[in-house]
Structure 1
Amino acid sequence: MSGPVLARRGFLASAAGLAAALTLAACGGESTTTGTAAPTASGPAAQAWTFIDDRGKKIDQPKAPSRIVAQVGAAAALWDFGVRPIAVFGPHKLQDGTKDPQVGNVDIAKVEGLGNVWDEFNVEKYISLQPDLLVSSMYIKGTLWYVPERSKSTIEQVAPTAGVMLTGRSATQVISKYEELATSLGASMEGVAEAKARMEAATEELAQFKNLKILMMSGGADAMWVVNPPEYPDIVHLMNAGLDVVKPAKVDEGGFFQTLSWENADEYDADVILYDTRTQSLKPEEMLKKPTFAKLPAVKAGQLYPWNAEAPYSYQGYAAFLEGLVANLKKAKELP
């Protein structure tokens, strides 16, 4: 389970070679990226640019950044607001070459890829792109998601970085922060108003399912993880809208989830189970091979539905996520 597992995992701590990096920067020529710069209006681009990120870090630039590199979740959010990063890092391409769902609407044919898995970040390519800004979400304050600890000092000297906090917030708060950043960058905001209305309408519909007990989980080869609602912006949003989501009685160190063996998959009662759809999580057909899980009332009733655990933090991303959830919950019923 990428988010919570890695968020509590100790990061690798070897220092990057700054001298070599700076040499590369000095020798770097024109970027070969096929991405397009973030759209900036004449006003923001012509004026000094200031942004305060969720670390409380104030970033001052002579003009609004246009050459933006972003972690895939941040890139997906910014893309929907009209900002076009030139490169991304984190899971964006599946083994068959198609897009990873985590990258949202980003056209991966038009951006450079700096890394596709955990602890993979091509520092040399990053330097050659001559970025103005790096943007990433944060599960832990001060730790930019998918920025390797061993390369952090080099990466942060190449260009300013901005972090958007996820943990302990609602989705609307996270979306608002990305909207603030995108607005400051002169984003087009095309389709945003319509998507916001869709998201609000779908959110209102969730109240009709308040009598359903919902378990949200992710599956691994040897364990299942029951997520801890307060740590996830999307689940906070769902609970604020009226859904009754199981909160594990005993969470693991780090607070993101409770680990259960598959033999103990029946620890909590639920009418509906929402499963993590990310590529690193088990698919339903794989989880159904676990006898205890297969016998759960919700599973036997066919009330096992997908959970897009990293929906883009944009109004478009959440409108689609919530509309799909509403459609599935309309098929569910309370179980004896």
Structure 2
Amino acid sequence: MTEQSGWRFSDDRGRRSSAPRTPRRVLAYVQAGATLWDLGVRPVGIYGSDHDGPAPDRAKTGTLPLEEVDYLGAGGSLDVERLLSAEPDLVVAVSYGDGHVYGLAPETAKHLEERVPVVVVDVGQTRSFDEIGERFTELARSLGAAQRTDASRDLTAVRERLRSLAAGSADAPRVLALSPAGPDRAHVARPRMWPELRVLTALGVRTVEPAEGPGANWSTLDRSDTFALRPDVILTDVRAHAGSLDALRGSDDRATPVVPWNPEPLYGPRDHARFLGLVADALEAARAS
């Protein structure tokens, strides 16, 4: 779209945002901001959710140049004036399938949208990783980002590598994703509920599914029941509010390959390829042990 014809984008709530010219000062939820950066759009600022603190969680920021991007805070510290202090001409937010702006109080989101265009991308469980990634790509291109064919080639190559590693073996390594909750328990992910874990399953990776029970996204297990699932590779939540895997497993299981995992994944091809490459390395290490 040319500058002369203005800028328009329909978000995942079905709302159309518009501006006389392509927005240049993008404020984004941290996950959206890091994804847009990987796709060629540098935000002027990012903000977090109630899970975040006064400093950005580096597990969520990917390769964002934090020395060049303002972090405006998170949760209760955010109000409309604080968000507008970055002088954005567009805000990019996420939702989890309900259309609500994640990370902002409803009144804050309402009053923000009265002052600046807000685009919401649905990152909920009903959509595949690729579908979410494509929506971010469409948004980035509308903001002037060029297509990165090299990044797409790298992603295709690492997916093929994973598919090859996972193929044709009944004793393939068992991959368990979890979020440590202290030395005595863990929140074990249900892979079908997480877009990035569904990618692994679709590629043939043997992801471990905890037994049915309470918890839609996680099954909370004590330490012994967690390791009774016999993981050969562990994907561990490395967000700042997660517990320590070392504290959870103590002196046991030191040889198990570990992959840092952000349950709020970044949907750009470089960041996704980086994660899949780490999983592939861990599978190779598990097979060699």
User: What's the TM-score, normalizing by structure 1?
Assistant: 0.75
Does structure 2 retain, via aligned residues, the 8 Å contact 1:272–1:304? yes
Does structure 2 retain, via aligned residues, the 8 Å contact 1:81–1:179? yes
From 326, 329, 332, the equivalent of 2:283 is 329
Q: How far did 1:270 drift?
A: 2.9
Match of residue 193 from structure 1: 149
Q: Report 1:173-192 matches (<5 A).
A: 173-189=131-147, 192=148
Secondary structure of the residue aligned to 1:101 is coil
Match of residue 156 from structure 1: 113
Task: Give ranges in structure 2 of 5+ residues lacking alignment.
Answer: none
Cα 1:99/1:215, change in 2 over 3 Å: closer
Taking the aligned partners of 1:162 and 1:223, their CA distance within structure 2 comes to 38
Match of residue 305 from structure 1: 259
Report Cα offsets for 1:127-184 as digits up to 9, x if no partner: 3433221112222421222122342222222212111122222222211111100001
Does structure 1 residue 242 correspond to structure 2 residue 204?
yes
Q: How far did 1:93 drift?
A: 9.4
Does structure 1 residue 51 correspond to structure 2 residue 12?
no
Cα 1:325/1:263, change in 2 over 3 Å: closer
Does structure 1 residue 114 correspond to structure 2 residue 72?
yes
Report Cα offsets for 1:282-325 as digits up to 9, x if no partner: 23322223xxxx65xxx354233332433421011112111122
Match of residue 229 from structure 1: 191
Task: Give ranges in structure 1 of 5+ residues lacking alignment.
Answer: 1-42
Cα 1:104/1:304, change in 2 over 3 Å: closer
Does structure 1 residue 264 correspond to structure 2 residue 225?
yes
Taking the aligned partners of 1:250 and 1:230, their CA distance within structure 2 comes to 12
Match of residue 281 from structure 1: 242
More strand by percentage: 2
Does structure 1 retain, via aligned residues, the 8 Å contact 2:173–2:206? yes
Report Cα offsets for 1:13-45 as digits up to 9, x if no partner: xxxxxxxxxxxxxxxxxxxxxxxxxxxxxx533
From 16, 20, 28, the equivalent of 1:70 is 28
Q: How far did 1:235 drift?
A: 0.8
Taking the aligned partners of 1:103 and 1:275, their CA distance within structure 2 comes to 17
Amino acid at match of 1:225: H
From 105, 110, 119, the equivalent of 2:63 is 105
Does structure 1 retain, via aligned residues, the 8 Å contact 2:25–2:44? yes
Does structure 1 retain, via aligned residues, the 8 Å contact 2:52–2:75? no
Runs of 4+ in structure 1 over 6 Å off: 91-95
Secondary structure of the residue aligned to 1:281 is coil
Q: Report 1:10-159 matches (<5 A).
A: 43-90=1-48, 100-115=58-73, 117-159=74-116
From 168, 177, 187, the equivalent of 1:216 is 177
Taking the aligned partners of 2:200 and 2:287, their CA distance within structure 1 comes to 18
161-170 vs 312-321, greater mean Cα deviation:
161-170
Taking the aligned partners of 1:78 and 1:134, their CA distance within structure 2 comes to 12
Secondary structure of the residue aligned to 1:275 is strand
Amino acid at match of 1:261: D
Match of residue 7 from structure 1: none
Amino acid at match of 1:310: E
Q: How far did 1:98 drift?
A: 8.2
Match of residue 314 from structure 1: 268
Does structure 2 retain, via aligned residues, the 8 Å contact 1:219–1:281? yes
Aligned residue-pair number: 281
Cα 1:61/1:215, change in 2 over 3 Å: same
Secondary structure of the residue aligned to 1:134 is strand
Taking the aligned partners of 2:91 and 2:21, their CA distance within structure 1 comes to 15
Amino acid at match of 1:193: T
Over the residues paired in the alignment, what is the CA RMSD in angstroms?
2.6
